[in-house]
Structure 1
Amino acid sequence: MRESLRAGILEGRYPAEEQLPTEHDLTALYDVSRITVRRALHDLENEGLVQRLQGRGTFVRRPQVTQDLARLQSFGEAMRPLGHETSSRVLSVREVKPPQAVAQRLGLTMRTKVSEIRRVRHLNGAPVSLDVSYFATTLGRRLAKEDLASRDIFLILEHDYGLPLGHADLIIGSRLADEALATILGVPPGAAVLHVDRLTTDTEGRPLACEHLFNNGEAYQYHLQVARDVPKAPAAARKRGVSR
């Protein structure tokens, strides 16, 4: 029965967020014991295909979308080639005194105001990320006039402003969603969300944007392939055929 349920989920017979039949119904449907049903649901939960909510039942998880971190891309650049629809909802654009860490990363003093842009990023119509982006006010005022609901900031910087991007420095961790963030992302308060601290620079290494990205880890994940750089043994050791 486990394989049958797995196939039903992967083939779309059980759509995302739909409730599966109850344990009692599955027992009758597959003519198996309650222990067999629970073991199968437990295995599917470990695979990330379903979520079991106490007192409510078992629900099909939304499939996770993966973004490759090996390239510096905007949200839309990464998702659209995979066949996904993306959009943004701008919550606010304002000038604020920057948090200390933001001021340091942008090379500004805390007395210098910055432009703060808050957006909710949607993937196939569902909210998956809250992006809080900081820019120098000169740049932020230009961006405030743009259509940020349908256009990616990275593309605006490069194509419209002639500011080629160089690289980004990322720190990835987790945060517990407070009530406001939970409401935006559609997760329970206190749920763990992915937090990405990203500093993006131009090709000369000058900081352009400091961002805090809060992602719904249930629907969105990152992928990065890394190679192991094996240190060479000292010359004397290589001559003796000894490795350290």
Structure 2
Amino acid sequence: MPPRRPTVEIDSPIPLYRQIKDTLRAGILNGEYALHSRMPSESELQAMFAVSRITIRQALGDLEKEGLIFKVHGKGSFVSQPRTAFQDIATLQGFAEAMSGSGHEIVNRVMSFRIARAPAEVTTKLGLPDGANVAEIHRVRLLNREPVSYEVTFLPEQLGDKLQRADLVARDIFLILENDCGIALGSADLSIDAVSASAPIARALKIKAGAPMLRIERLTHDSRGQPIDFEYLYFRSGTFQYRLRIDRKHARKAETQKPRSKR
């Protein structure tokens, strides 16, 4: 259970209901409120935070919209099974950029950052000369405080020099490229397949070595079509989905139809 007398800051620019929501949200994500356990009632929360009932209802309403709790008529609110995160594959977005819009909490853990000679595949993808150096960044992405993906990012060395000074723990690389480096992103080529987790990635994601994973290769271009970012994205099975809506491409109707033969 959370502290018996959690506090809210009356003079804070953050609304009271949001402060309460964030406190309860942290308790859910930390496991202080177990899965399917009953949350304190509205009257209990009202006494706990010393606020009005409508403020408590706003906080609980937001938690329900985020999928963190569900309500049972006459019984109260209960902690939900965490929903599978998904990203619209038809839109070019960074992971945190896509997830934060759905109410998920994203944290990045930087495993390594180095300038090194690029593998042959990377120089080909980025259009660099053989033997060129690149920035190689390894990060674990945590979704609602659980490791979900392992990302390996390669960028040309000059961009890597700029990213070394950026906050890679809290920010998406796409947003850093756009806002800090002044690069307009254009499009990306993706390929998706299933692989087995290597030992280092398995340790980072807290899964068994050899466990099935979703792997995405993504090559991102700027608005002029120049490749600037090549990534391997490894996702734990059952934690993430890419979604895409596609339309049926109808065959063009024949302009004329052959007349039926007469007998």
Q: TM-score, normalised by structure 1?
A: 0.71
Q: Give the Cα–Cα distance (whole angstroms) in 1 for the partners of residues 36 and 259 of structure 2.
A: 63
Q: Give the Cα–Cα distance (whole angstroms) in 1 for the partners of residues 130 and 136 of structure 2.
A: 14
- The answer as to whether partners of 1:62 and 1:219 remain within 8 angstroms in 2 is no
Could you tell me which runs of 5 or more consecutive residues in structure 2 were left unpaired when the two chains were aligned. Answer: 1-34, 39-79
Query: Residues 209 and 13 (structure 1 numbering): CA distance in 2 closer, same or farther, change over 3 Å?
Result: same
Shift of 1:217: 2.2
SS of aligned partner of 1:187: coil
> Which residue of 1 is the match for residue 198 of structure 2?
178
- The answer as to whether partners of 1:88 and 1:150 remain within 8 angstroms in 2 is yes
The count of aligned residue pairs is 185
> Which residue of 2 is the match for residue 94 of structure 1?
114
Any idea what the Cα deviations from partners look like across 1:195-232, whole Å, max 9, x if unmatched?
00000011100111000001112211111111111121
Q: Give the Cα–Cα distance (whole angstroms) in 2 for the partners of residues 124 and 132 of structure 1.
A: 21
Q: Give the Cα–Cα distance (whole angstroms) in 2 for the partners of residues 72 and 226 of structure 1.
A: 16
User: Is 2:36 the partner of 1:13?
Assistant: yes
Shift of 1:62: 5.2
User: Is 2:88 the partner of 1:68?
Assistant: yes
User: Is 2:218 the partner of 1:195?
Assistant: no
- The answer as to whether partners of 1:90 and 1:119 remain within 8 angstroms in 2 is yes
Most deviating of 190-199 and 154-163: 154-163
Q: Which amino acid aligns with 2:205?
A: L
Shift of 1:14: 6.9
SS of aligned partner of 1:82: coil
Q: Give the Cα–Cα distance (whole angstroms) in 2 for the partners of residues 61 and 104 of structure 1.
A: 43
SS of aligned partner of 1:148: coil
Q: Which amino acid aligns with 1:200?
A: T
- The answer as to whether partners of 2:36 and 2:81 remain within 8 angstroms in 1 is no
- The answer as to whether partners of 1:166 and 1:203 remain within 8 angstroms in 2 is yes
Q: Which amino acid aligns with 2:184?
A: P
Could you tell me which runs of 5 or more consecutive residues in structure 1 were left unpaired when the two chains were aligned. Answer: 1-11, 16-59
Q: Which amino acid aligns with 1:13?
A: H
Q: Which amino acid aligns with 1:85?
A: E
Q: Give the Cα–Cα distance (whole angstroms) in 1 for the partners of residues 134 and 205 of structure 2.
A: 25
> Which residue of 1 is the match for residue 251 of structure 2?
231
User: Is 2:216 the partner of 1:216?
Assistant: no
Q: Give the Cα–Cα distance (whole angstroms) in 2 for the partners of residues 222 and 172 of structure 1.
A: 10
Backbone CA RMSD of aligned residues: 2.0
Q: Which amino acid aligns with 2:228?
A: L
Q: TM-score, normalised by structure 2?
A: 0.66
The percent of aligned pairs where both chains have the same amino acid is 39
Q: Give the Cα–Cα distance (whole angstroms) in 2 for the partners of residues 104 and 171 of structure 1.
A: 16
- The answer as to whether partners of 1:135 and 1:208 remain within 8 angstroms in 2 is yes
Return structure 1 stretches of 4+ with deviation > 6 angstroms: none
